[in-house]
Amino acid sequence: MTISSIDSLRSLLQEAFAAQEGAVPDWHVRDPELPGEPSSEGTAKAFLDLTLRQHWSNFRLWHVEDRARRHDAGSELIAECKYTIDKLNQERNDLIERLDMFLVRALESVMPPVVEGQRVRHNTETVGVAMDRGSILALKMFHMREQTERNGVTPDHVAECQRKLVVLSEQRSDLLASILDLLDEYAAGTKRPRVYYQFKMYNDPRLNPELYSRKAGA
């Protein structure tokens, strides 16, 4: 299915948000069989595939960061985790940009044209970045729910985690509502979407002096 209207895009983002939350418990049972690169750009399925790939990056990042914080972690494990975290962060940000590129292209055909002389307004946060926040909130909700069902903890611990779970759920609902509100602004032409590129430097041996200096033997 291609994106032909703001309403179809709204439905797609709601589906993607639900897919993030639904995937987390499944992934804790078994690793997903993620699809390959989308065969047809611009379709709803391509966007959902990208959403779950980006979500999977956050899922792995969450658990590597947990492992790095173990009290018995030696320097070798911490170094390994740091290397993995850097790679996953790069992957995560690359996929955020791809989500935004998809959305900018999809919106081009359904937004009104820019009025000559009208100031073009942009949002401080892109929809792709907001989807990333939705992914992390889905992970937080799953792990907070685990704490409410945990054996061997005090009733106070359970009650505190239940309160936090309610807040996280409200925050995720508010985030989706804000994304949909932003789509309405795009539909009205009061704002225009844009891709904001991160241009991460730390993993690039051409840009990180600790990498290119050592490579040159400096």
- List, for residues 154-179, the tens digit of each pLDDT value: 999 999 999 999 999 999 999 999 99
- Tell me which of 218 and 211 has the higher pLDDT: 211
Which of the four pLDDT bands, split at 50, 70 and 90, describes residue 217?
low
Residue 136 burial (C-beta neighbours within 10 Å; 0-12, 13-18, 19+): middle
- Tell me which of 34 and 196 has the higher pLDDT: 196
| Residues found in the chain | 218
Q: What is the mean pLDDT of residues 93-121?
A: 89
Is the pLDDT score of 198 beyond 90? no
Q: Residue 122: which residues within 8 A CB-CB, separation 6 or more?
A: 191, 192, 193, 194
Phi/psi-derived region of residue 36, left when phi > 0, alpha when psi is between -120 and 50, beta in every other case: beta
Q: What are phi and psi of 153, to 5 degrees?
A: -115, 165
Distance CA 130, CA 107 (A): 17
Please give the pLDDT value at position 35: 62
Is the pLDDT score of 216 beyond 60? no
Domain ranges of the chain: 6-207
Q: What is the mean pLDDT of residues 102-107?
A: 92
Q: What is the mean pLDDT of residues 110-127?
A: 87
* Residue position matching structure tokens 């959902």: 48
Please give the pLDDT value at position 153: 95
- List, for residues 21-62, the tens digit of each pLDDT value: 999 999 999 988 876 665 566 788 999 999 999 999 999 999
State percent of the chain over pLDDT 90. 60
